[in-house]
Amino acid sequence: MTVLIKWKNHHIEDVEVDLLLNALKERYGYDFTGYARASLKRRLLGLMRDFDVGHLSQLIPIVLYEEAAAQTIINGISVPTSEFFRDPCVWNYLRSSVFLQLASFPRINIWQAGCGYGQEAYSLAILLHETGLLKRSRIFSSDINPLFLDKARLGCWPLRYQQHWRENYAHTGGKADFSDYFVEQNNDIAIRGEFKQPIEFIQHNLVVDDVFKEMQLVVCRNVLLYFGNALQEHVVDLLTRSLERGGYLLLGRGENIVDLSEKHPQLELLDSSWQLYRKRIGTS
């Protein structure tokens, strides 16, 4: 039986979702077919409202023939949620434990998957700076969406968020003045240039693109929760293969994937509270 999700007089049929996703995949190469269907439909309902259409299928010709509007639809599906030092307790753990272990590597490569607007990548840079590791570190921050990458490279956000992010930073154990990492520009704050230098923002599709080699730390937080089970397994395998032996994988706190260590025996669970794993020595 077809599942209908209603919004006023609007509804979404599963067959319409399949046709729209296939159009996006064939025309632009974006494969959202493995996304968790419930959260995907919520985003599609929002797009129906924005485009003022009564049926999702009405977006299909727009996707096929109006590239700018299609990009708006892609953005609406892959909308990021990010902030500086989100979940401060996780960053405190990175500071006090994981980064102490990373210090043993002569060179530190970090892949941060799902960059959103860049706050997490720059949070990593700040933390590496405060632990004395930034000068020998390189951060590769990736996203499927080129518009998000452009905004992340810009490194500029509304000033109104600063106080909340300052509080996050303080709860990570940060001792500096958070505002020292930024320059105020009218009603915005911009990250200082020295924290841009070690970061390379790269377009990468977790569904179809290959691994990064050899990473000492892979951070992929609050990305897998939007994926279905099969795509989750594929992506975890990709992330694992990107790790150097002894390297660390950090997932989102809410991404408690059932039997992950059994399905991916190369990974050892170090802390279930933070969803932190380590690639076993002697595995490839």
pLDDT of residue 3: 47
Intervals of the chain under pLDDT 50: 1-3, 5, 7
Q: How far is CA 4 from CA 36, 47, 64, in A?
A: 16, 16, 24
pLDDT of residue 58: 93
Burial of 71 (0-12, 13-18, 19+ CB in 10 A): middle
pLDDT in tens, 1-17: 444 545 455 678 899 99
pLDDT of residue 1: 41
Measured between alpha carbons, how far is 204 from 195 in angstroms, rounded to an integer? 22
φ, ψ of residue 274 to 5 degrees: the values are -110, 0
Q: Could you tell me if 140 and 234 lie in one domain?
A: yes
Measured between alpha carbons, how far is 82 from 196 in angstroms, rounded to an integer? 17
Q: How far is CA 128 from CA 136, 137, 277, in A?
A: 9, 8, 20
Measured between alpha carbons, how far is 198 from 192 in angstroms, rounded to an integer? 12
Are β-strands 276-279 and 108-113 bridged in parallel, bridged antiparallel, or unpaired?
A: unpaired
Are β-strands 137-143 and 199-203 bridged in parallel, bridged antiparallel, or unpaired?
A: parallel
Within-domain flag for 82: no
Within-domain flag for 284: no
> Last residue of a domain, which of 25, 54, 77?
77
pLDDT of residue 32: 83
Tokens of 234: 């594929």
Within-domain flag for 83: no
Q: Could you tell me if 69 and 110 lie in one domain?
A: no
Q: Output the domain CATH number for residue 57.
A: 1.10.155
Measured between alpha carbons, how far is 154 from 118 in angstroms, rounded to an integer? 9
Q: Output the domain CATH number for residue 155.
A: 3.40.50.150
Measured between alpha carbons, how far is 28 from 122 in angstroms, rounded to an integer? 29
Within-domain flag for 110: yes
Q: Count, in order, helices (H) and strands (E) of the chain.
A: 11, 12
Q: Could you tell me if 140 and 46 lie in one domain?
A: no
Please give the single-letter amino acid code of residue 83.
E
Report yes or no: 2 and 14 within 8 Å, Cβ to Cβ: yes
Q: Could you tell me if 16 and 124 lie in one domain?
A: no
pLDDT of residue 284: 63
What is the number of domains present in the chain? 2
Q: By residue range, what is the domain housing residue 156?
A: 88-279
Give the strand order in the sheet containing 182-185: 156-158, 188-191, 182-185
